[in-house]
Chains A and B, each alone.
Chain A
Amino acid sequence: QVQLQQSGPGLVKPSQTLALTCDISGDSVSSNSAAWNWIRQSPSRGLEWLGRAYYRSKWYIDYAVSVKSRININPDTSKNQFSLQLNSVTPEDTAVYYCARVFGYHWKFDYWGQGIPVTVSS
């Protein structure tokens, strides 16, 4: 059974960096069959895909156009986890942030982390 456990602060000041981690159990971050995603949810924007990391003989990382200039997703094979960094945050980045797995090539998010509500405020 795959489990995703998220951690990170729930409050970030404007212009600073939002940093979250997703610990994986029951699968491997370097699996050749999975992709590891970050998704956020806010009342104004609904669910929004932010990006993914996946391994297919080498690492591939893709980002949503809306955040591409200020996002980093990093897999850590030694800890079997992946992380999200979102730079230069504004109150518009206030949301619940989820990590999620896609297995295979069919873009279905089959396992989700518990979600972390993040508020951007001074």
Chain B
Amino acid sequence: QSALTQPASVSGSPGQSITISCTGTSSDIGSYELVSWYQQHPGNAPKLIISEVSDRPSGVSNRFSGSKSGNTASLTISGLQAEDEADYHCCSYTGTATYVVFGGGTKLTVL
């Protein structure tokens, strides 16, 4: 069982927007602005798409955005495209001996 809770799956049609939630605790997401999101296509390594809650690395589409409220972080993908179909993982620093925790991953299906 993963430390951060994500929905197992979400879906949306091309052009629509979807939001993936990631729920932690006051010891991780609630205490630090160190939430990151990763996109993973089948057979590939995860790719960083959001860091420090809402920062987009160079080269990542501005259709991806991140936010946080309390113990829950969110990833929003706007203008869904077929290529967005992938697994998405959240991650947070914990400030404890655990150091960093991940969510269980959310499978995005573009209908």
Contact = CB atoms under 8 A, between A and B. Distances in A.
Interface of A: 45-49, 52, 62, 64-65, 98, 106-110, 112-115
A88 to B, nearest CB: 21
A45 B99 contact: no
A47 B102 contact: yes
Interface of B: 2, 34, 36, 38, 45-48, 51-52, 57, 89, 91, 93, 97-105
A50 to B, nearest CB: 10
Nearest to A62: B99
B52 A49 contact: no
Contacts of B102: 46-49
Contacts of B51: 106, 108, 110
Given A46-B2, A46-B105, A47-B91, A110 B100 contact: no
21 contacts: A46-B2, A47-B89, A47-B102, A49-B100, A49-B101, A49-B102, A65-B97, A106-B51, A106-B52, A107-B34, A107-B93, A108-B34, A108-B48, A109-B48, A109-B91, A110-B48, A110-B51, A110-B57, A112-B46, A113-B45, A114-B45
A48 B51 CA distance: 18
